[in-house]
Amino acid sequence: MKKIGTKLLVVLTVALGGIVASQQPTTAHASNTISSTPSGHFKISQADYTFHWQTFKSGNKKGSVLVFGDFKQPAVHYAVPTKYKLSKNRRTLTTYYRLMNKDKLAKTTYRMDVYKYSNSKYRVKLNQYKAGLLPSYKGKTYTATITKSSPAQYFATTYTSVKLLKAVIPDYTQQIQTQFDQGKIKADPSNPDVQKQIRDRAVSDVSKVVQTFVSAYNAR
C-alpha cells in the first residue's frame, strides 16, 4: 500500500506533540459504550463515504490521524484530531480536528460526534463545508457500519468509476467526432470498433484516476 509521505509525518508529529494520546477516551467495558477511538472503517453506504482513525509513528512519537474518503466527489482528506470529549454516558465521542492542506495544518477546527449503537453500528452526521463533505456534529444523519477491511475499493468500483465513465466516454466521443468532422482523422465514432476503442481508453484512464483515491485512503 501507499505510505504516508515523510513530510506529512513530520507535520503530523509537530501538530500532535503528544496531545492526542493523552486526550483519548479512558477505558469502559459495556459493548454500547466507547472505550477508545474506534477501530475499523466507518462505512456509510448511503453516501459512498468512509473514514477511519489511523495510528502513525514517527521516531519515538505516536499519534492518530483521521482519513476521510468521499467517493462521490471523489476526494480524500487527512485530518489531525486536536481534542476528544466523551459524553457522560460514554456513548457519544466528540472529536475536534483540523484538516491537512498541502502538508500543512489548516486553521479551521471542525467537530464531529459519533454515537455508538453497538460494536458494529454508529450514528454519524455528514455536513457539506467549503472544504468538502466531512463528518460533523450537524448535517444529514447516517448509520455507519464498522468494517475491518477498507471499503474504498468497493465504493470506487461500484460508484466512482461508473460516475466518471458516464462523463468521460461522451467527452472522448465528442473529441473524436470533432476531429473526424474536421477531416483530421479517419476514425468515425459511429463505428462500433471505434466506440470500443473509446470505451477501452476511457476505462483505462478512469481506472488510473480512481486508484489514486483508493491508494490515498488506504495509505499507511
164-209 tens-digit pLDDT = 999 999 999 999 999 999 999 999 999 999 999 999 999 999 999 9
pLDDT bin (cut points 50, 70, 90) of residue 57 is: confident
Tell me the pLDDT band of 59, cut-offs 50, 70 and 90: confident
As a whole-number percent, the residues of the chain with pLDDT over 90 amount to 77
pLDDT confidence tier of residue 30, bands split at 50, 70 and 90: low
Query: What DSSP string runs through the chain?
Result: -PPPPHHHHHHHHHHHTTHHHHHSPPP---TTS--SSPPSEEEEGGGTEEEEEEEEEETTEEEEEEEEEETTTTEEEEEEEEEEEE-TTS-EEEEEEEEEETTEEEEEEEEEEEEESSSSEEEEEEEEETTEEEEESSSEEEEEEEESS--HHHHIIIIIHHHHHHHHHHHHHHHHHHHHHTTS----TTSHHHHHHHHHHHHHHHHHHHHHHHHHHH--
pLDDT above 70 coverage of the chain, percent = 86
Q: pLDDT at position 11, please?
A: 44
Q: Over 70: is that where the pLDDT of 135 sits?
A: yes
- pTM, 2 dp: 0.83
| The pLDDT value given to residue 62 | 80
